[in-house]
């Protein structure tokens, strides 16, 4: 019986082993390990890839969101609207900045922020909105911008799952006042450790993030804090490895899209498959479907050696850490709660083969028929 793991990072390393090893040795041999040439080169290359004016490497995607909020002056007393159907990191970062997360419902087709729900949640304390390009599908930024721009509310994109996704050919990470990426190893552009970045179209704002990521020091005056900052730096080793990964990002995303299309052709009718909205390029960070009797189906897949996961099983407002109004909901999150009960993520990553997809699809068909 063929076993299909939910993910396989080692195969992704082995696919470009020589390049990764050479990059790592170059850094080890350089004698310079934090914020040097590799980080500067990666920042420039990633900004160019996106079509952004600037990029600041930081320690994680969570830090990227935290520092983007701080660079925009968002903090205690401010409300920041995002979704409950996201990685907890999005909400943890809002709390790190001292602001209050307000969670709104999602669109049931793309699983991204509902612009109508966003509009209902806005009040005079709303300072920023963080749509998440969840699973690799762009949020409806045109509708969201129509809500936030006239009101002077900051727009921060959470691009942690959407490296290379685009709307009308323009990459996500270039729409918001600032945008945030994670390079956690499983992401479409993943390091071999932790990493993150803030990107944007305003070099001054990127400069603010650069100050904040290292104690408020400027390049000209080290050891003198201009503003109160933190330590959140992208290290040279991860930057060098990310430069290798970036070269292969488009090929990897194309492969993800091919595997997704293959799933789409093979999966039985009862399975609700992901949709790609018109003008959007989905990069399938995750291939998330809805099935009846989800938990039974998952167990049956597991018994056949097929790994699955749920992203995410408990909406954030239902998690113990965020009760007691640490995260606010103003309306019922009906679509969020429905999704949490029905979704399952199937294996999809560069390194998975068409034969692997076939195996998963056949196992799913058997599970549904049982």
Ligand X SMILES: *Cc1c(COP(=O)(O)O)cnc(C)c1O
The residues binding ligand X (CB under 6 A) are 60-62, 86-87, 89-90, 132, 158, 160-161, 182, 184, 196
CA distance 150 to 3: 52
Nearest CB to ligand X, comparing residues 66 and 298: 66
Helix (H, G, I), strand (E, B) or coil at 45: helix
Measured in degrees and rounded to the nearest 5, phi and psi for residue 171 equal: -70, 145
- Closer CB to ligand X, 82 or 335, in the complex: 82
Whole-number minimum distance, CB 271 to ligand X, in Å?
23
CB of 74 to ligand X, least distance (A): 17
- In the complex, the smallest distance separating the C-beta of residue 334 from ligand X, rounded to whole angstroms, is 21
191: Cβ contacts below 8 Å, ≥ 6 apart:
183, 184, 185, 238, 241, 242, 245
Shortest Cβ 182–ligand X spacing (Å): 3
8 A C-beta contact, residue 84 and residue 315: yes
130/101 Cα distance (integer angstroms): 10
Comparison of 154 and 184: residue with beta carbon closer to ligand X: 184
SS3 322: helix
The CB-nearest residue to ligand X is: 61
Identify whether the C-beta of residue 317 lies closer than 8 Å to the C-beta of residue 292: no
As a whole number of angstroms, the distance between CA 186 and CA 189 comes to 8
Nearest CA to 72 out of 224, 243, 202 is that of 202
| Nearer to ligand X among residue 178 and residue 300 (C-beta) | 178
Q: How far is the CB of 161 from ligand X (least distance, A)?
A: 5
**Closest CB to ligand X among residues 114, 359:** 114
Closer residue to ligand X in complex, CB, 137/208: 137
Q: What does the alpha-carbon distance between residue 315 and residue 125 come to, in Å, rounded to a whole number?
A: 23
Q: How many CB atoms lie within 10 A of CB 25?
A: 11
Closest approach of Cβ 115 to ligand X, in Å?
Answer: 18
| DSSP label at residue 352 | B
| Closest approach of ligand X to the CB of residue 130, in Å | 9
Nearer to ligand X, 196 or 200 (CB): 196
């Amino acid at each position: 019986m063929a076993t299909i793991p939910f993910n396989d990072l080692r195969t992704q390393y082995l696919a470009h082993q020589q390049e990764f090893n050479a990059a790592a040795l170059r850094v080890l041999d350089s004698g310079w390990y934090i914020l040097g040439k590799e980080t500067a080169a990666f920042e420039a290359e990633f900004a160019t890839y996106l079509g952004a004016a600037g990029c600041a490497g930081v320690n994680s995607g969570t830090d990227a969101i935290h520092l983007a909020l701080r660079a925009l002056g968002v903090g205690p007393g401010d409300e920041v609207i995002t979704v409950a159907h996201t990685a907890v990191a999005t909400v943890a970062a809002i709390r790190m900045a001292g602001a209050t997360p307000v969670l709104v419902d999602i669109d049931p087709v793309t699983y991204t922020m509902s612009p109508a729900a966003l509009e209902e949640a806005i009040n005079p304390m709303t300072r920023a909105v963080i749509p998440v390009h969840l699973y690799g599908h762009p949020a409806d930024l045109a509708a969201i911008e129509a809500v936030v721009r006239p009101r002077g509310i900051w727009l921060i994109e959470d691009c942690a799952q959407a490296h290379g996704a685009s709307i009308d050919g323009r990459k996500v990470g270039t729409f918001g006042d600032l945008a945030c990426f994670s390079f956690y190893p499983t992401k479409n552009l993943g390091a071999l450790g932790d990493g993150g970045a803030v990107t944007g179209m305003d070099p001054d704002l990127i400069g603010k993030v650069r100050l904040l990521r290292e104690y408020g020091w400027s390049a000209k005056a080290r050891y003198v804090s201009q503003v109160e900052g933190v330590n959140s730096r992208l290290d040279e080793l991860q930057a060098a490895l990310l430069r290798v990964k970036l070269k292969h990002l488009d090929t990897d995303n194309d492969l993800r899209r091919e595997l997704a299309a293959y799933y789409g052709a093979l999966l039985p009718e009862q399975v609700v498959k992901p949709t790609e909205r018109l003008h959007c390029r989905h990069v399938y960070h995750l291939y998330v479907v809805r099935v009846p009797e989800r938990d039974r189906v998952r167990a049956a897949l597991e018994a056949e050696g097929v790994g699955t996961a749920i992203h995410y099983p408990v909406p954030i407002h239902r998690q113990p850490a965020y009760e007691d109004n640490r995260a606010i909901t103003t309306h019922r999150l009906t679509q969020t709660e429905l999704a949490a009960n029905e979704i399952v993520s199937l294996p999809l990553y560069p390194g998975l083969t068409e034969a692997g997809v076939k195996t998963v699809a056949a196992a799913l068909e058997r599970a549904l028929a049982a």
